[in-house]
């Protein structure tokens, strides 16, 4: 009688490619979301913005590409190459935080100078909280680099945390959540509530990842439960906090650091 060797097969044969798929989806949304207001305006030269804005666009777009490439390297088992490119990710994330905050402060200062007042101050909590979330999650991912099951989930959460602006561009194209009275050259002043909606849509990525965990490992990983809860909490709490006198004072302080 011939001996038959049966090899255990995972619930999903290509489960290792899950992160590649979700990373590629984030990359696609990031470019499509900003296509009407940025990418498609570069060739005809109709986009008006400072060098800081262009640097901001390049860095944040590069992150989604970087995350996709890193996920693909890991999925193909090229762990050494994945780790070798890790330092680039640290440098890129650091630059994103500093440039993101600087660009936000510059935009706030110009809108305050134009007399847009409290609506501009209130909305400033959105980019600042996004950068805070992204920075914290990337730092946590770096700290757990030797624990890949945690590391890859934190990197996904970090990427999801900066997806709302791209998703929000769809709503802004329909003038949803726009505060009346915008000045020429400054762009529309948006409401915190309008970005909260796009944030909740971005959170669908977390839900998909949790479902994937349940199907492949029987339960969601704590990294998703804890990190996802923090992201949702920030998205919810910044709405009431954005119109407090405390935040207005913080916004005025940050505006002083505009370039």
pLDDT digits (tens, 9 = 90+) for 147-182: 999 999 999 999 999 999 888 887 665 444 444 444
pLDDT of residue 40: 84
- Residue 104 contacts residue 162 (beta carbons within 8 Å): no
pLDDT of residue 253: 96
- Residue 33 contacts residue 166 (beta carbons within 8 Å): yes
Q: Output the six-digit token pair for 160.
A: 């999801």
Q: How far is CA 246 from the centre of its chain?
A: 26
DSSP state of 36: I
pLDDT of residue 9: 43
* Mean confidence (pLDDT) of the chain: 86
Q: CA dist 197 to 39, 120, 125, 127, 193, Å?
A: 24, 18, 15, 15, 7
pLDDT of residue 11 exceeding 60, the answer is: no
pLDDT, one tens digit per residue, over 77-91 is 898 999 999 999 999
- Residue 105 contacts residue 254 (beta carbons within 8 Å): yes
pLDDT, one tens digit per residue, over 85-108 is 999 999 999 999 999 999 999 999
pLDDT of residue 77: 87
Q: State whether residue 178 is helix, strand or coil.
A: strand
Using the structure block, give the residue that is written with the tokens 């490992």: 217
pLDDT of residue 14 exceeding 80, the answer is: no
Sign of CA dihedral 171, 131, 205, 20: positive
Say which residues have a Cβ less than 8 Å from residue 205's Cβ, sequence separation at least 6. 22, 25, 26, 156, 160, 163
pLDDT of residue 121: 95
User: How many other C-beta atoms lie within 10 A of the C-beta of residue 176?
Assistant: 15
- Residue 238 contacts residue 95 (beta carbons within 8 Å): no
Report the share of the chain in percent with pLDDT over 90.
66
Q: CA dist 21 to 3, 75, 135, Å?
A: 38, 11, 23
pLDDT of residue 70: 95
pLDDT, one tens digit per residue, over 245-259 is 999 999 999 999 887
Q: State whether residue 250 is helix, strand or coil.
A: helix
Using the structure block, give the residue that is written with the tokens 């959170």: 203
């Amino acid at each position: 009688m011939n001996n038959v060797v049966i090899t255990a097969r995972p619930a999903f044969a290509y489960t290792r490619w899950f992160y590649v798929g979700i990373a590629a989806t984030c990359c696609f949304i990031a470019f499509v979301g900003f296509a009407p207001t940025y990418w498609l305006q570069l060739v005809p030269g109709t986009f008006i913005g400072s060098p800081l804005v262009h640097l901001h666009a390049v860095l944040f777009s590069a992150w989604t590409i970087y995350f996709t490439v890193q996920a693909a390297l890991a999925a193909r088992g090229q762990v050494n190459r994945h780790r070798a490119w890790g330092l680039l990710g640290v440098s890129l994330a650091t630059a994103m935080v500093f440039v993101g905050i600087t660009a936000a402060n510059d935009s706030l200062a110009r809108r305050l100078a134009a007399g847009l007042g409290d609506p501009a101050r209130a909305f400033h909590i959105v980019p600042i909280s996004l950068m805070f979330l992204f920075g914290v999650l990337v730092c946590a991912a770096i700290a757990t680099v030797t624990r890949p099951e945690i590391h890859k989930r934190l990197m996904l959460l970090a990427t999801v945390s900066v997806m709302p602006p791209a998703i929000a561009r769809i709503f802004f194209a329909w003038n949803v959540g726009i505060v009346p009275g915008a000045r020429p050259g400054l762009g529309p002043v948006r409401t915190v509530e309008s970005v909260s909606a796009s944030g909740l849509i971005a959170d669908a990525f977390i839900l998909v990842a949790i479902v994937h965990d349940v199907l492949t490992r029987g339960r969601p990983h704590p990294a998703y439960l804890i990190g996802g809860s923090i992201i949702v909490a920030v998205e919810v709490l910044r709405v009431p906090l954005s119109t407090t006198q405390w935040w207005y004072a913080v916004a005025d302080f940050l505006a002083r650091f505009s370039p």
